[in-house]
Amino acid sequence: MRVLVAAGGSGGHIFPALAVLEELQGEGGHALGWVGSPQGLEAQIAAKRPWIEFFPLLSRGLPRQEPWAWPGALLQDLRALAEARRIVRAFKPDVVLAMGGYPAVAPALAAKSLGVPVVLHEQNAVMGLANRFLARFSDLVLLAFPKTQGCPHRANVLVTGTPVRRAITALPQGLGQEFLVLGGSLGSRALVEAVLARAPKFAALQGFRVRLVVGRAGNPEELARKLREKGVYAEAQSFTERVEELLARARLVLARAGGSTVAELACAGRPAILVPWEGAATGHQLKNAEYLAKGGGFLLLRERELSSSKLDELVEGLWADEAGLFRLSAAARAQARPDAAQRVVEALKALGKEPS
């Protein structure tokens, strides 16, 4: 089977796409392509995997707060649509998997115009604007959450969960010894600053060690130095693909609540304090966190509470409570969908007319 994935923009779209492609690659016998930005993280990911044929495509979302920039963005997207049609004709996919966000729009529309089946995946509890548009043209819409807000009622829907790479789903049960701070692939200045501000409190906790993935939120060496000066042993890095190594060492996680992040935390069974990004479109991170917090394993902390003592109280209360952490870990795993990538592959095969 020939599968073309359209994904880019952030790790929340990119890593679920990679999980599906790795599942297909493990089966053997498939031709696998990826359409994305030549300057994006997706290009770096594909370049390290020679079994993925990468097709660069420049596209642009509509800047919501800058309507004067829409004509230029629309012109670029029309060019992207023409180029996407050329890519689809050249690769000849049996099915196209669009992972959401504006980078998926042109490839999905191009495939539909050429009679190629389109499968759309939504990773969050609230469907994004691009996916609401694409859902009307998709042959099948795959959802991470059973009651996803904004999904058109007439869409052909299947709940699969968010695909997570096997390196994460295969992590053994147990907890590490580090406090892991994850701000998503782009980082979170609010989380970093909160940890810096509360460091004197954390320094009093026995065996407390922190590891930060800071993205664009600061210089990792400088942030680690500042934390050490406040008495906290710390390591920091800008980014890593190998998040499974970080999760394996994690005892407790402070994280944003993007769809891919929470799916990985659940599959790894890592207790987490989720701090939804208030600026997330349609408030999807808050909805993600609220849904998961109801099932246990995850605690919800609003961004405005980061500057209060509540973060101190949560971390201090949990750090020494090993029995409580294991209960949270079990509850997190109970919400996981470790077979999501396989279920997406099965849906692609069914639509791409390949026998299972």
DSSP state of 149: B
Would you state the structure tokens that stand for residue 153, as one six-digit string? 């009622």
Distance CA 176, CA 208 (A): 11
Tens digits of per-residue pLDDT, 178-237?
999 997 656 678 898 999 999 999 999 999 999 999 877 778 899 999 999 999 999 998
Instruction: State residue 175's pLDDT score.
Output: 93
User: What whole-number distance in Å separates Cα of residue 90 and Cα of residue 114?
Assistant: 12
Rounded CA separation 208/202 (Å): 7
What's the topology of domain 2-164+338-351? Rossmann fold (3.40.50)
Calpha distance 224→230 (Å, rounded): 10
Tens-level pLDDT at each residue, the chain (356 residues):
999 999 998 889 999 999 999 999 999 999 999 999 999 999 999 999 999 999 999 876 655 556 555 455 556 667 889 999 999 999 999 999 999 888 899 999 999 999 999 999 999 999 988 899 999 999 999 999 998 999 988 779 999 999 999 999 999 988 999 999 997 656 678 898 999 999 999 999 999 999 999 877 778 899 999 999 999 999 998 888 899 999 999 999 999 999 999 999 999 999 999 999 987 777 899 999 999 999 888 999 999 898 888 999 999 999 999 999 999 999 999 999 999 999 999 999 999 875 44
- Separation in Å, CA 23 to CA 80, 322, 346, 352, 356: 28, 35, 10, 16, 14
In angstroms, rounded to a whole number, what is the distance separating the alpha carbons of residues 337 and 267? 7
**Cα 127 to Cα 59: distance, rounded to the nearest angstrom:** 20
Show me where the domains of the chain are located.
Answer: 2-164+338-351, 167-334
Which CATH class for the 167-334 domain?
alpha beta
Whole-number Å distance between alpha carbons of 276 and 285? 5
CA gap 342, 91 in Å, rounded: 23
How confident is the model over 139-150, as pLDDT tens digits?
999 999 998 999
Q: Check residue 214 and give its pLDDT.
A: 85
Start-to-end CA distance of the chain, whole Å, equals 11
- Count the residues in the chain: 356
Calculate helix-pair angle for 259-268, 322-334, nearest 10 degrees: 120
Structure tokens that stand for 219 in this block: 């210089």
| Same fold yes or no, 2-164+338-351 and 167-334 | yes
Which of 101, 85, 158 is CA-nearest to residue 345? 158
